[in-house]
A and B are shown apart, each in its own frame.
Chain A
């Protein structure tokens, strides 16, 4: 099954930002995630291999509306850079062995699945926001910044919903909707950061470059929240 991820990464990395290779690669990534799900009998969202593959697919899936958008068709750089991110994370997932362990009983609930899936959709959109921020800083085309805002707002909505479903899961599983661990602290930081980002819009056009940079910083916080905390800090949320 791993050949699906390798083929998807190849299409993403060598598709030169063209729509058809992008859509095909996204389809292959989605098929891989679905097949892993069928193999495991649940959403494949446990362990580094499955979560990184899910994240890679989320980037591509969330980018699809932007890639096919007529308003963004002039910016092939967007599709190319996003495809490169998605392809590289697909390859990165192959560095880890797929986990075949049965799901611990406490994770067998739809609230957990919603919590994790929504978080990855948000991470995907925050990644897209960073790409758009970089393109805006290079081209100074305000249309790009509008797309960045759309990505961030939609990502923020997914992330907020992930926090709500995570709270419900935590309450039923652990007896509390919040734990003071490094992962939760960084989750709160990420949420507060995008709250801040969305309010920058109210400051007007003078703040456009700051906003674009914040989209990039937000991606760095996202990566630290997802991978950095699990690798560097002790937390109940390690993969």
Chain B
């Protein structure tokens, strides 16, 4: 019984079926996602809790399939290492396992963000002060925007002052340059050159981001190692 379960969980056929099913469910979901859905506005699990099952069934299905795929990946990797370690070529053996570990880390990161992610947004006016969730406050000292020949904004930024019990700090935020405090990142999303200038900001908490980056780096390292070992191989050697 144990042997049969182990063989089932190590099975490459199981990986094929799981990957195929995940793709089919995701493909169906891409046609079912409603425009204006709040799925990207709140943490995934909060969205699941608030939304009807007719909208969320595919997330549950993908999560269940991914959970089995994660177990399958761990068993396949462990089985490969155990059966081939005595044959030498450690780095060649490790390369695909690093990719598997990277994939598992990224999947875990998504889970962490789906549980603990936060997103708040709102309009700001130059000179305005807002309260942050950690009871510190943020003042928007100045908002600047430059427009191009078609009237579209080409550059915009806001100078901010963060006031907390530990002191006062000044910073500048602009597209692709958020400002981080603790677990939160402050993003400048849009500005309008009125009198006074106004803008839209969002406060994000993405607790899985570091793990996702670590997973991405691990995966890339394994991938490069694999490419290095398989370069120039002749027929049948791949």
Q: Which residues of A contact B15 (CB under 8 A)?
A: 196, 199
Decide: A192 near B19, CB < 8 A? Known: A185-B27, A199-B12, A233-B31: yes
B122-130, B132-140, B160-168, B174-182 - the one binding chain A: B174-182
Residues of B in contact with A, size category? 35 or more
Cα distance A179–B113 in the bound complex, in angstroms: 12
CB <8 Å contact, B23 and A193: yes
Query: A111, A164, A175, A188: which contacts B216 (Cβ < 8 A)?
Result: A164
- Count chain A residues whose beta carbon lies closer than 8 angstroms to a beta carbon of B: 51
The answer to whether B183 has its CB under 8 Å from any CB of chain A is no
Query: A105, A160, A164, A177: which contacts B155 (Cβ < 8 A)?
Result: A105
Q: Which residues of A contact B22 (CB under 8 A)?
A: 192
Query: A142, A150, A161, A175: which contacts B220 (Cβ < 8 A)?
Result: A161
Q: Which residues of A contact B150 (CB under 8 A)?
A: 101-102
Q: Identify the closest chain B residue to A203 (Cβ).
A: B12
The answer to whether B152 has its CB under 8 Å from any CB of chain A is yes
Decide: A175 near B213, CB < 8 A? Known: A160-B219, A180-B33: no
CB <8 Å contact, B26 and A189: yes
Rounded to whole Å, the gap between the CB of A213 and the closest CB of chain B is 14
The answer to whether B117 has its CB under 8 Å from any CB of chain A is yes
Query: A104, A153, A171, A196: which contacts B19 (Cβ < 8 A)?
Result: A196
CB <8 Å contact, B223 and A160: yes
Cα distance A101–B223 in the bound complex, in angstroms: 37
Give A129-169 as 1s and 0s: 1 = Cβ < 8 Å from B's Cβ atoms: 00000000000001100100110011011001101100111
CB <8 Å contact, B40 and A189: no
**With contacts A163-B216, A178-B212 known, what are 7 further pairs, Cβ within 8 A?**
A111-B176, A157-B223, A172-B176, A172-B178, A181-B33, A199-B12, A233-B31
Chain B contact residues, CB within 8 Å of chain A: 12, 15-16, 19-20, 22-23, 26-27, 29-31, 33, 35, 39-40, 44, 110, 113, 117, 119, 148-150, 152-156, 174-178, 185, 187, 202, 204, 206, 209, 212-213, 216-217, 219-220, 223-224, 226-227, 230, 233-236, 238
Chain A contact residues, CB within 8 Å of chain B: 101-102, 104-106, 108-109, 111, 142-143, 146, 149-150, 153-154, 156-157, 160-161, 163-164, 167-169, 171-182, 185-186, 188-189, 192-193, 195-196, 199, 201-203, 229, 233-234
List the 8 closest A-B pairs by CB distance, nearest first.
A175-B204, A164-B216, A105-B175, A182-B30, A185-B30, A106-B175, A102-B148, A109-B176
